[in-house]
Amino acid sequence: MSKTTTDSELPPATEAAAEEAAERLTTAPVESDGPTGIGVLGWLRWMWRQLTSMRVALILLFLLSLAAIPGSLIPQNGQNQFKVETWKTQHTTVAPVYEKLQLFDVYSSVWFSAIYILLFVSLAGCIVPRTWQFVGVLRARPPAAPRNLTRMPVYAAWRTDADAETVNAAAHALLRRRRFRANLAGGSVAAEKGYLREVGNLVFHLSLFALLGGFAWASLASGTGGKLMVGGEGYSNTITQLDDFTGSRFYGTEDLDPFYLKLESFKSSFQTKGDQIGAAREFTANVEYYAGSDASKLAKGTIEVNHPLEIGGSKVYLIGHGYAPVITVKNAAGEVVYTGATPFLPQDGNLTSTGVVKVSDYGDKDGKKTQMGFSGFFLPTAPLSFEGTGPISLFPGDAAPELVLNAFAGDLGTDSGLPQNVYQLNQKNLTQLQQDGQPAKARLKPGQTWELPDGYGTVTFERYTQWASFNISHRPGNEIALAGGVLAILGLVGSLFVQRRRIWVRAVALPGGGTLVELAGLARSESAKIAEELAELAVDLQDDAPATDEDPATDEDPADPGSPADPGDAAGNPVDVPESDESDEASAPSDPAVPADQNSKE
């Protein structure tokens, strides 16, 4: 027998503790409500212990999922400010209350943040000691065999004539071969396997910090801009040429990635029949671009939904599209005072679009300074008559394009120096042109010209092109979050699919001669495999510790001892079996045959 001593010489209390340790297969914190001392320190320690307990982690997780719900049902500022405003005007009584409760900014609200910060504090407070504990487990030997192996959930025993020391040594070698961490001491072998479970669990929980870090970095150092371009137009990525820009702490207007981008053309197609008529089928923006300021590096590319273009640190996403009628306005003298494409903004799924044209240098027949404004609709597929429906498009494709215009004359207000919305007319100082006592109005097909009343000149709807709008996004930290995500999955796989388990083997010489071999195993309750594993091990071990005949009288001749029909034997080698014994139940050592204590672990 091996010389090292363990459990047999420990005082009873320590032994009980050792037995308990032997039966714990996780570094999960133990629930304890016991006193932790008195005074402030005691209280603090109690609170910390509560915060880092599994129970509180569970409650915080539950709260987190509850807290995420309102944000999905109430419009959120971060996603659609317009919807938030509409909602507020529709619910004037509750809106102020909601505002106070930060229900329009759920995911950045104080209470949502509080929950996840507490959760992460709890997580840190849980992970750090668990990691230490686990390092300790790895450095220590597998916990020694409990004195009473029959108490273990899985148990096997038999008598053999082989010498106890040989059996123990064989078991030790066997377990090693099965890649257990095994230790032979005090006349028994203690072995453990499946540490990847704990590793996976720790990796998973740690990866949540990586995810959080990626999130935080992205929100501190990212920025997005918007740009709408009509086919043929280009722009340099500077704050003056962007339509709008939202920066963050570490990415301001001066940090914009320098590049040039030009929309060559935009192509769209739509479903033309069936019950999904009008559904979009293809959007492609053909572009030219170069990063930095070297125009000789001009390259061609395409941007589609799902296929952004990466240019010099920013990604350009296609987010919208529409039509831009090309209009030429001539004054009374027949001089061209305006010509160009104006983007009209879609109002519905069939791309009924509205827009305005502002002609600030119109002049008039007397040479006096006047300005003109036109507002109207572009209908890619106009109905025959607007009766009852008003000007609406029937289909998003350009099957029957028409432009509907109203004309205004007067002061556009553009000279006031105040910024103006290019998609709206300020009608304060404008008068609508009249014809036959009615507001003047025209429906134009491409190529048609409208003779304005009162000798104001002409408007020609030349043709139309398409525009596309882009989101220019600079977002670092994606890699960190992605790495966190991948680690989370790997960690989970380890944590949920690997079983951590212990096996003990003890062979003792019996007073009456012979040796009693006992095997016991412990795994988490979800595993049914431990019984099979133990059985396989027992089979293998019997090569070195053959069971003795207890009752040769009832012995039957095994037909074929070497029969390889043995699915349980991982090694695949036919088991060398001694004489059979049909009545081993009755004659097995009385102690182990009947489990003394069937209370389960955990």
Partner 1 sequence: MHLASAVDPQLADLSNKLIYSAMAVYLIAMFCYMFEWTFGSKGAVAVRSIEQAGLAETVAAAETRAAKKVTVTVASAGGGTTTLTRTALAGEGATVVTSGRGADEEDGPGAAGSSEKADLSGRIAVSLTVLGAMLHAGGVLTRGLSVSRWPWGNMYEFSCAFALSMTVAYIGLLAAKKKARWLGLPVTLAVLLTLGVAVSVLYTESEQLVPALHSYWLAIHVSTAIVCGGAMYAAFIGTLLYLGKDTFDRRIAAGLTTGPLGTSASIWRRLPAASTLDKFSYRINAMVFPLWTFTIIAGAIWAEAAWGKYWEWDPKETWSFITWVAYACYLHARATAGWKGRKAAYLAVLAFACYLFNYYGVNIFVTGKHSYAGI
Select from ligand HEM, partner 1, none the partner in contact with residue 123, using the beta carbon and a kind-dependent cut-off of 5 to 8 Å. ligand HEM
Q: Indicate whether 496 belongs to the interface with ligand HEM (CB under 6 A).
A: yes
Contact track, partner 1, 455-474, x by CB under 8 A:
----------------x-x-
CB 304, min distance to partner 1, A: 7
CB 500, min distance to partner 1, A: 13
Contacts of ligand HEM in 577-596 (CB under 6 A): none
Q: How many residues bind ligand HEM (CB under 6 A)?
A: 16
Select from partner 1, ligand HEM, none the partner in contact with residue 195, using the beta carbon and a kind-dependent cut-off of 5 to 8 Å. none
Exactly one of 193, 315, 500, 501 binds partner 1 (CB under 8 A); that residue is 315
With a CB cutoff of 8 Å and minimum separation 6, the contacts of 584 are 158, 547, 550
Exactly one of 123, 407, 425, 503 binds ligand HEM (CB under 6 A); that residue is 123
Exactly one of 104, 130, 159, 516 binds partner 1 (CB under 8 A); that residue is 159
Contacts of partner 1 in 500-539 (CB under 8 A): 525-526, 528, 531-532, 534-536, 538-539
Q: Indicate whether 158 belongs to the interface with partner 1 (CB under 8 A).
A: yes
Stretch that binds partner 1, among 279-287, 332-340, 409-417, 428-436 (CB under 8 A): 279-287
Nearer to partner 1, 1 or 593 (CB): 593
Rounded-to-integer distance, Cα 278 and Cα 274, Å: 9
Q: Are 408 and 434 in contact (CB under 8 A)?
A: no
Nearer to ligand HEM, 56 or 412 (CB): 56
CB 512, min distance to partner 1, A: 17
Residue 387: half-sphere exposure toward Cβ, Cα within 13 Å:
2
Rounded-to-integer distance, Cα 107 and Cα 453, Å: 56
Running DSSP on this structure, what letter comes out for residue 257?
P
Question: Looking at this protein, which amino acid is placed at residue 288?
Answer: E
What string of H, E and C letters represents the secondary structure of 18-47? Answer: HHHHHCCCCCCCCCCCCCCCCHHHHHHHHH
Nearer to partner 1, 94 or 489 (CB): 489
Contacts of ligand HEM in 15-34 (CB under 6 A): 26, 28-29
Q: Indicate whether 307 belongs to the interface with partner 1 (CB under 8 A).
A: yes
At 477 the three-state DSSP class reads coil
Q: Indicate whether 64 belongs to the interface with partner 1 (CB under 8 A).
A: yes
What's the distance, CA 281 to chain centroid?
28
Contacts of partner 1 in 4-43 (CB under 8 A): 26, 28, 31
Q: Indicate whether 52 belongs to the interface with ligand HEM (CB under 6 A).
A: yes
Contacts of partner 1 in 398-427 (CB under 8 A): 398-399
Contacts of partner 1 in 359-398 (CB under 8 A): 397-398
At 262 the three-state DSSP class reads strand
Q: Indicate whether 51 belongs to the interface with partner 1 (CB under 8 A).
A: no
End-to-end CA distance of the chain: 32
With a CB cutoff of 8 Å and minimum separation 6, the contacts of 486 are none
Mark out the alpha helices in 469-564 (DSSP H runs).
478-497, 529-541
Question: Looking at this protein, which amino acid is placed at residue 241?
Answer: Q
Residue 28: half-sphere exposure toward Cβ, Cα within 13 Å:
16
Q: Indicate whether 212 belongs to the interface with ligand HEM (CB under 6 A).
A: no
Q: Which two tokens stand for residue 399?
A: 């099957």
Rounded-to-integer distance, Cα 190 and Cα 423, Å: 79
CB 122, min distance to ligand HEM, A: 4
Contacts of ligand HEM in 61-100 (CB under 6 A): 61
Q: Are 457 and 329 in contact (CB under 8 A)?
A: yes
